[in-house]
Structure 1
Amino acid sequence: MTAQVIFFHGGGERQDYEQDKNLVVSLKEQLGAAYFVHYPFLQNTGSADLGRREQITREILNSQDGVILVGHSLGASMLLACLSEKKIQRKIGGVFLMATPFWTGDEQWVRPFKLQPDFAEKMDPQVPLFFYHCQDDQEVPFVQLSKYRQKLPWAFYRQCSCGGHDFNNDLAIVAHDIKSLKNGAYIQRFSSDY
């Protein structure tokens, strides 16, 4: 049976979706035919749901049990918000978050993107959760990865010395970890220099 993966892109405009297609292509190539990667467009509707939680929830509910969820940048942070705020009746095989912003501040535009103070308590530690971040990311500062490590110490963390915000459009590291779900070979919780 083909495993299902949903990839949630960064940003919220068509150009962001088109740019992240390079990441999706890399992931598909690395995973191979045993995985089906669904890549929905998360439209910026201009509504109060700027965080796109409802769109993400619908995509997950329309998937099969054991679905693997991947998010990049804003898509990663909104996927994390969705999983910690919504009661989603779907078994999730794993969550893989790349260049994930940790939103802070009280500005009105930031509020829809921020996680709830108790978000970490709402996450299921039985679901494998992976974070990836490049030290030379110019859009989401690398230091934000440490904030997630403080809140979610049981998750898995991969830091890359280079690759920028888009991981040089090479998701071999993510594909490797997704494939490792089948045999539980992801025992190292923190690793660097990929």
Structure 2
Amino acid sequence: MKKTVLFIHSAGPQDPEHGSSNLSAYLENELRDKYQFVIPKMPSPENPKYVRWKDQLEKELNMLNGEVILIGHSLGGSVLLKYLSEESYNLTFSGLFIISSPYWGLDKDWQSKEFTLQNNFEQNLPAIPHLFLYHSRDEDIVPFKHHKIYAEKLPQATSRELEGRQHLFHNGLPILVNDLKNV
């Protein structure tokens, strides 16, 4: 039986060649033999609101059973961390993979009360055996300092500091594929 991967995309346009579309297609292509992918279109990605994304995430999670692997790209990762640290659910998560996610409230350019995590959010996360953080050191969309904050708050996570400037990973993310294969 294939494991289920729930992929939550970034903000912004999600049509082909935009947003997380290339990354999610790459992952599905590389791993379709081993995993069943659920890649929902989140509401109003060009004007996201947390409550609407939370409701959609809840709807998606309620349709799943068994062990689930979660992948969040950019805003999708922020939403997963907020949801997992604030809500209740009846699933077991065997992995959580956060890619290039903003840490809301870090500085004046990254303010959004609705997406900001609660103080000590990390203490409310469920025990997830495989937690990974990925971020390009020189990317210009979400600065690398966001990754450093997540890595400090989540010392149990495997931190993948990537060379280059990638945020959207249009050509894929092979290290993520390898990490998923080992879960």
Q: TM-score range by the shorter chain?
A: 0.7 to 0.9
Residues 72 and 48 of structure 1: CA distance in aligned 2, closer, same or farther (over 3 Å): closer
1:169 aligned residue? 171
Deviations 1:152-178 (Å, cap 9, x if unpaired)? 111111011125111343122111111
| Preserved contact between residue 102 and residue 142 of structure 2 (Cα < 8 Å) | yes
Q: Percent identity?
A: 31
The one-letter code of the counterpart of 1:32 is R
Distance of aligned partners of 1:173 and 1:79 in 2 relative to their CA distance in 1, 3 Å threshold: same
3-state SS of the aligned residue for 2:64?
coil
Any residues of structure 2 matched to 1:128-167 within 5 Å, and which? 128-167=130-169
Maintained 8 Å contact 2:50/2:115? no
Match for residue 10 of structure 2?
10
State the TM-score, normalized to the length of structure 2: 0.88
- One-letter amino acid of the structure 2 residue matched with residue 25 of structure 1: A
* Structure 1: gaps of 5 or more residues: 182-194
Query: 1:186 is matched with which residue?
Result: none
Cross-structure match for 2:34: 34
Deviates more, 1:55-64 or 1:137-146: 55-64
> What code does the residue aligned with 1:164 have?
Q
User: Structure 2: how far apart are the matches of 1:47 and 1:138?
Assistant: 21
Alignment-mate amino acid for residue 160 of structure 1? L
> What residue number does 2:25 align with?
25
* Offset from partner CA, 1:127-148 (integer Å, 9 cap, x none): 3211100112111001111101
Distance 1:152 1:172 in 2: 23
**1:30–1:137 CA distance, 2 compared to 1 (3 A):** same
- Larger displacement relative to structure 2 (96-105 or 160-169): 160-169
Rounded Cα–Cα distance in structure 1 between residues aligned with 2:124 and 2:160: 22
Please give the alpha-carbon distance, in whole angstroms, between the structure 1 residues aligned to 2:54 and 2:132.
20
Residue 112 of structure 1: SS of its match in structure 2? coil
What's 1:185 paired with?
none
Aligned residues: 178
Distance 1:166 1:152 in 2: 23
SS in 2 for 1:111: coil
Give the alignment's Cα RMSD to 1 decimal. Answer: 2.2
